Amino acid sequence: MTYDHVMDTIGEAVDAAGVAVIVVGAVLAAGSAAVRLTRRRTGTYHRFRQQLGRTILLGLELLVAGDIVRTVATQPTLASVAILAVIVVIRTFLSFSLEVELSGRWPWQKTTAQPPPE
């Protein structure tokens, strides 16, 4: 086994973990929402969005990590680093957008104490 092959395998494993986190998190969020609906609890949609959004954020972080491992740990070329930069910028934008959607504030703003929805 060569170093590049090992790094590719590790990168693919981290990517697979990212996809698994998103899929499992989506299933768990949907299951939780279904239970809340059957019990006629309020705020089900809001809580579902919160759980799903957090799951997607974690999955995106793992996918970025997998891309970094595969690109930087192996023999980086200018083209591969440029492609990685574009991917990271897009995923960072998505992460910021999701954070604003979930919390209603930018990540660097102070948290305001809000009671959780019932």
Is residue 113 over pLDDT 60? no
Question: Residue 22 — pLDDT band, cuts 50, 70, 90?
Answer: very high
Q: Which helix (H) or strand (E) holds 9?
A: helix 3-38
pLDDT, position 67: 85
| Cβ neighbours of 26 (radius 10 Å) | 16
Give which of 63, 69, 80 is closest to 16, Cα–Cα. Answer: 63
Is residue 114 over pLDDT 70? no
Gap between the Cα atoms of 92 and 105, Å rounded: 16
DSSP state of 40: T
Q: Are 19 and 64 in contact (CB under 8 A)?
A: no
pLDDT, position 1: 79
CA distances from 91 to 49, 59, 85, 88, 97 (A): 19, 11, 10, 5, 10
In the chain, what are the domain boundaries?
3-103
Kindly report, residue by residue over 59-108, the tens digit of the pLDDT: 988 998 988 888 887 777 888 888 888 988 888 888 888 878 877 777 67
Q: Are 57 and 107 in contact (CB under 8 A)?
A: no
Kindly report, residue by residue over 30-60, the tens digit of the pLDDT: 999 999 999 988 888 889 998 998 899 899 8
pTM exceeds 0.85 for this model = no
pLDDT, position 112: 59
